[in-house]
Amino acid sequence: EVQLVQSGAEVKKPGESLKISCKGSGYNFTNYWIGWVRQMPGKGLEWMGIIYPGDSDTRYSPSFQGQVTISADKSISAAYLQWSSLKASDTAMYYCARHVSPITVAAPWGQGTLVTVSS
């Protein structure tokens, strides 16, 4: 079974750094793209960016370029979403999802990681 499992919920203070993970199983992790999606409380889905673990080719949404870093470690079938200095406005649920290519459908999705940033 193809599965993406994300790391657990995080509670952080403004200014702190954070790295959340998304681990794939049941398929060749290096042959598919992993995308990241933000969902703020009570709001819709926003595409943040995408990475190809095979060669770390990474593309960002203009809205998130410079705000986050997407990376991957193909040796352990993991993709990451990282912040160097969190803001309260980063409070959201973050999902990862698998793509065949950047233009294709996202499936399956991880279960989501809730990030809460509060002083």
Partner 1 sequence: QSVLTQPPSVSGAPGQRVTISCTGSSSNIETTYNVHWYQQLPGTAPKLLIYGNSNRPSGVPDRFSGSKSGTSASLAITGLQAEDEADYYCQSYDSSLSGVVFGGGTKLTVL
Chain residues that interact with partner 1, rule: CB under 8 A: 35, 37, 44-47, 49-50, 59-62, 95, 97, 102-112
Tell me the closest approach of the beta carbon of residue 75 to partner 1, in angstroms: 26
Tell me the closest approach of the beta carbon of residue 84 to partner 1, in angstroms: 22
Residue of 105, 77, 85 lying closest to 21 (CA atoms): 77
Q: Report CA Rg, the chain.
A: 13
CA distances from 9 to 23, 77, 89, 119 (A): 15, 20, 16, 16
CB contact at 8 A, 38 and 46: yes
- Give 18 or 38: the residue with its C-beta nearer to partner 1: 38
Tell me the closest approach of the beta carbon of residue 41 to partner 1, in angstroms: 12
